[in-house]
Structure 1
Amino acid sequence: MKKVKDILRKLMLLYKRFLYFLAKLIEKRDDKMVVFESFQGRNISCNPKALYEEMKNNPKYKDYTLVWSLRNPNRTDVKNAVKFESFGYYRALAKAKYWIFNSNPRMFLKPKADQIFVQTWHGTPLKKIGLDVEKQGNALTNKSQMKNIYVEESKKITYMISPSKYCTDKFISAFNMKNVSKENNVLTTGYPRNDYLFKFTKDQCTNIKKELNIPTDKKVVLYAPTFRDNQYSAAEGFKLANYIDFKEAYKELGDDYVILFRAHYFISKKLDVSEYRGFVYDVSSVEDVNTLYAISDMLITDYSSVFFDYANLKRPIVFFMADYDEYKNKTRDFYFDVKELPGPVVFNQQETMAYVKKFIDNFVIDDKYKKFNEKYNYLDGPDVSKKVLDMIIEN
């Protein structure tokens, strides 16, 4: 059965390659066309969304055609959309002058010399990525395959967007940018997606809570763990990593709190929280995580990059790392010591809940938190998107 699936997979890949080849023969370049893609067409979010909105709302780009790649293109909130991996998708890529993506496109998709591929990526890394990973790889790709993916990606990149000097250095090593003489193509600008965190209003927060049916009179805790590379099955995909016992959490926190549970986008199986209705809300399907940052009073995470962005809000963060030893020593490892993180690192739920209650009303930013933002978030602000577009299009 596995051999049959492998054969079918290879045939499908050949078919997609043929469609892209045909599209390149048909289409002529449009210097005022941009294709945006987030997480391989799963949604409209992250840095591509921020750059799209800046172009859509800025009169200087009124003559540009802005196209989204989406797995579900039947949306009313975008004017132009193509179905991910359809013939229309390949035609759009062949025609557009600019590709703005936040993750690795398929390996056979290679922009031509007169096209500009902007790789925004999707977060500042704590856990090692790409060529920097020294462990066995993950459930889908071994170390050798992972290395090849990132090496090939570096050859495509025209510009890569980085939020800090730290991140620039990691991108250069993880993508092997020096090997292709592109270390200067990593633009240290700040992250476009974080513009929103400097512009949202109280009224917007109230409206977001109403849309999600979240009480406006309760304290909101966002719980956003990452996925585990080594926890995968062919039938279910990556398994859910939830280390909080919500029944016990409710006993600790009571009716004054709600928990927003946000699974990583790799997780396909939804968490059943019906037993905790009114206390736990599964917000994994909310398209733009920025809206969840805005309405939450504090964040609980583990190794996810969400805390880098969230720290811009100067709100409390608790790092619940129940499987720290296994994750560090067998799965990914980290770029820096967790002692540098802008919040307490804890290893059990009891400590986690104790910090939630301690911080929710009595949080003061300490020197460690300030130094963290000075190192990792010093370029973020309300107009990074404009700055990035000036660099990649105007110049």
Structure 2
Amino acid sequence: MSTIGPESVELSQDDLKSLVAAELERTRRRSAALTDAVDDDDLVEQHSPLMSPLVWDLAHVGSQEELWLVRDVGGRPALRPDIDDLYDAFQHSRCDRPELPLLGPRESREYIATVRDKAQDVLHHVSLEGRRLVDQAFAFGMIVQHEQQHDETMLATHQLRRGDPVLHAPDPPPTARAPSSHEEVLVPAGTFTMGTSTEPWALDNERPAHPVHVADFFIDAHPVTNADFFRFIDSGGYREPRWWTEEGWRHREHARLSAPLFWRRDGDTWLRRRFGRIEPVPPEEPVLHVSFHEAQAYANWAGKRLPTEPEWEKAARFDPATGRSMRYPWGDDEPGPERANLGQRHLRPAAVGAYAAGQAPSGARQLIGDVWEWTASDFAPYPGFEAFPYPEYSQVFFGTAQKVLRGGSFGTDPAACRATFRNWDFPIRRQIFAGFRCARTPSREELD
């Protein structure tokens, strides 16, 4: 696997096209694995009103590929203009999609295969320069990332489905040491470069690069663990309104929250359901499937807070030795199995303290992969933001309704994960692979 980065400007057109073709095929293999793992009845079933049937996601990635690569980039005739509305995510909510006259499993597979043949032919003939949409293969990278994002969505749907396990993967590597749950790192005050203007496949909400001054702060050296969260629950954290915001407490009562999603207590043991398996909750793993409201309540209980988005990014990519913001916590090199838990290589987060090779200069670990991390920030544009290539990717979501998540999860592909990548969701969402780490403002004495 080879992701595209700023160094790709040195690639020849042929080499860049070969890289893009490989990324398209690698991504499609993942989509096929996620949909071939179940039968046709399972593909058309809606496993939760929060999610689309798997068959919708499958045809949707083909529809987007047709719109952008075949029609726009390639200037080719429309293949299936009759289904454009069916697979427009803005026209139909997820809960309503099972009632639509969707393509069936066989039709969906035939459709996306036909689209892919056309898209590969477009790639063969098009020049990857001279037009913003195609410069450095941007449109192709956008489609790779779009399909990988839907693959992670389909993985979340697999977690919601009932039945025997159908997905299998080895466990992540063990940690060399179990760090203290109270381990923090101090990130000194100063200005750093947030966002990017050079990453070829960066999406509009990651742009442009701009200076941001951040005051001194402490941030947890690793995500909050299940063991940490056990203590929050046992201390009455879900029963005490004082730890929650008014909005969070209203939701906790309405949804009757008492533990992370997929957890249940069996005597003195917490169990969880994970892709069809019932197992004890591993205390050393980052807590998973918690909402922003739960994360915020825990942080209040712990005497801390959630990091802001600039704090998270500075901790993740700023190198004080060079004064430079890097692509990843470890530098500019691509993610690999020794650095981060990404790409559905494993079907669970790794224990905290793993991936020493992925440590940031700040001293924080596991900032990329394992679990998406809630931040305190609303999803907002950067100064100088420009919607590209369409407002519906980011612009329509800006505002106070969505909270930003950073870092990616074990289900996020490296093509759709970098230290500038921004995810967002409603603060009540729990089916996503989200956890968090805490931050706090130092006292004057701690800085003296």
Higher helix share: 1
TM-score when scaled to structure 1?
Answer: 0.26
TM-score when scaled to structure 2?
Answer: 0.24
